[in-house]
Structure 1
Amino acid sequence: MHPAPEVTVHYLVTGHTGFKGPWLALLLLSRGHTVSGMALDPEPGSLFERARLAEQLVSDLRVDIRDASATIEAIQAAAPDVVVHLAAQSLVRESYRNPRYTYETNAMGTLNVLEAVAAAPSVRAHVVITTDKVYRNINQEAGYVETDPLGGDDPYSASKAMADLLTQSWVHSFPGCPTAIARGGNVIGGGDVSRERLMPDLVRAYTTGQAPLLRFPRAVRPWQHVLDCLNGYLTIADALLAGSGVDQWNIGPGRDSFVEVGKVATLAADLWGGGAHWDNQPGDHPHEAHLLALDATKAQTELGWRNRLGFRDAVTWTIDWERRVHDGADPLIVTREQIAAFETLDRSSARIGSRYQHLKGTR
């Protein structure tokens, strides 16, 4: 298990009602910290609701980060030690339908959070989460490194690149609270209810006996389990609290996890069983990158962070979570079990699945 902290740290997570947010809150709680959250209302059926997360938080605040004054008031009232800024409009296709909302939330919302953190004397570290899609994508086979140029063709990618550059500018222009940027890849895990995102779309279809339709089955993405990604974010936060880490960091999986969308869907169908399968979706679709990969060597060498789950493990843990909850298991208990199993893992462990099996039934 992860050792108990010498001093309990109070974290504020923006976007804690989304997908990563509840996992992050429960991971922090398992490590002995206290957590507040600031976000919009959760989606129906969200992990936030199913895990009864509101009962476990110091503060559960409903704030739209586009509202600068409300954001400042909320962060000052929560008085956290660390802010992890996850809140975003995070869907590519939604960004085509609602570009203004996407730019306002992802770019100006990030500015509002940066200003709020600067105005909150309690905050000692700030981690701003962007995405692998901030890089100017030229479909190169090598993973992008932190010094590669930023860009973005679709509104989502462009808005997150803007948030990334804005944060870099803020750090250089207004030195104060130690702030770092974390760029994650395609994250999967149990409890995601987002529309037009691969794994929840697959699960929704497989649970109802339908064949999901894939827009770009040959597209390659870096697939990473949510706990590996969040552990990277917290490794960065720990570095900031210790006096280092002010930089940009890729938090992505190894090359064995750069896998075509169709192969992910096939593995998920095989794990689900019952004849599950997928089909191609015909027609024209808005632009999405064909090949996108991160190089996380810098975080590995300078922060000592490592992925603990490979590609197959990440998909297996995700489908296992969804299968068990679909069959009636308590989402909070299953999430806690997977967190406990993750904390026992070393990346070199050979028997990941059996370790997880031994922890089933614990709380």
Structure 2
Amino acid sequence: MRVLVTGGAGFIGANFVHQTVRERPDVHVTVLDALTYAGDEASLSDVASAITFVRGDITDSPLVDRLVGEADVVIHFAAESHNDNSLSDPWPFVHTNVVGTFTLLEAVRRHGVRYHHISTDEVYGDLELDDPAKFTDQTPYNPSSPYSSTKASSDLLVRAWVRSFGVQGTISNCSNNYGPYQHVEKFIPRQITNLIDGVRPKLYGTGQNVRDWIHVEDHNTAVWAIVERGQIGRTYLIGADGEVDNKSVVETLLELMGQPADAYDLVSDRPGHDMRYAIDASTLRSELGWTPQYGSFRDGLAATIDWYRANEGWWRPRKDATEAKYATMGR
């Protein structure tokens, strides 16, 4: 099998590539990545000899057409994904998430290639803290930021291309990922690397916002289950029943790293900060037989801490610039 992975030098994509090379020797992986600030070829250094790497933009139609024509499956991870960045400059999110997805869909339509689209639970908006409901594939879209609205737009393009043109496509909307190779601007790695540096973690607002956490390796095993056994045209929600509020995440990190549970600082909340996400992944489990391998969020968090401690050479070059940017924002 020849698999084209867009965004394969980013967080989730790089982990997908590592996992595929490790567990599926019969699959040849080609990575297409523009290597923006969130993508780093160093994330693929350990598997570089086993894959084909192409630096390029998913909106480059001739390049995309050539690579799609050489593939059996396209798995589309590439996206601008950081909410804070989308609030300060929305255009890159429109360019990559909407125009890029359109470019890929046209290519898979021309070549008749199987396509899987990676998306987010943020397209559904948020839930109240005391609401027992969870997101399902029938939940109406209600995005609240330029990031989530462009991801919702890309999802709708996929649905239209499947229905109108017969594209062999599926979609997955996943809850918040964590694990190795995640940029230090993101919530969990930022707090871990702050603690490694002896800096107190920072928590938006009062820390009541709830996210449904899943280890990136569990996400990627679910993606393979959908690619191999999923029903064309279906949307599958990926989650590991990992609802935890941000305050508890920080307190657990502090405890695991040998610090007092209250050794953090509150900073101003970001605009439009969604209150709660929660995924109902029952279809994925019952229809495709998928289950997460990490038994608890705490176990996955401990493994993630170990990875950042052991891989300072990977994240250190990004740290100073990230904290300088947050300092200008008062966060």
Aligned to 2:136: 145
**Post-superposition CA distance 1:58-92 (Å, at most 9, x none):** 4211121233333223333xx12111100000111
Q: CA RMSD in A?
A: 2.2
Aligned to 1:65: 58
Which of 223, 233, 253 in structure 2 is aligned with 1:268? 253
Counterpart amino acid of residue 248 in structure 1? T
After the TM superposition, which residues 8-157 of structure 1 pair with which residues of structure 2 at under 5 Å, given as runs? 9-30=1-22, 31-32=24-25, 33-41=27-35, 43=37, 46=40, 48-53=41-46, 55-76=48-69, 79-121=70-112, 123=113, 125-139=114-128, 140-157=131-148
Q: CA deviation at 1:51?
A: 4.6
Distance 1:136 1:206, change over 3 A: closer
Counterpart amino acid of residue 52 in structure 1? S
Query: Higher mean Cα deviation, 290-299 or 66-75?
Result: 66-75
SS in 1 for 2:218: helix
Distance 1:145 1:321, change over 3 A: same
The answer to whether the 8 A contact 1:236-1:245 is kept is: no
Identity %: 29
**Post-superposition CA distance 1:22-42 (Å, at most 9, x none):** 110111111212211001126
Aligned to 2:174: 184
Give the total of aligned pairs: 309
Q: CA deviation at 1:271?
A: 1.5
Q: TM-score, normalised by structure 1?
A: 0.79
The answer to whether the 8 A contact 1:213-1:280 is kept is: yes
**Post-superposition CA distance 1:91-119 (Å, at most 9, x none):** 11111111121112111211111111222
User: Which structure 1 residue ranges, 5 or more long, are not aligned?
Assistant: 1-8, 332-363
Aligned to 1:166: 157
Query: Higher mean Cα deviation, 152-161 or 278-287?
Result: 278-287
Equivalents in 1 of 2:39, 2:237: separation in Å? 31
Which of 216, 239, 251 in structure 2 is aligned with 1:252? 239
SS in 2 for 1:238: helix
SS in 1 for 2:58: coil
Aligned to 2:221: 231
**Post-superposition CA distance 1:135-177 (Å, at most 9, x none):** 143434321110110121111111111111111111100004x
Distance 1:38 1:278, change over 3 A: farther
The answer to whether the 8 A contact 1:268-1:315 is kept is: yes
Equivalents in 1 of 2:184, 2:105: separation in Å? 26
The answer to whether the 8 A contact 2:237-2:284 is kept is: yes
Distance 1:75 1:92, change over 3 A: same
Equivalents in 1 of 2:146, 2:43: separation in Å? 31
Equivalents in 1 of 2:139, 2:17: separation in Å? 31
User: Which structure 2 residue ranges, 5 or more long, are not aligned?
Assistant: 316-331
Which of 200, 203, 226 in structure 2 is aligned with 1:211? 200
Equivalents in 2 of 1:175, 1:90: separation in Å? 28
SS in 2 for 1:115: helix
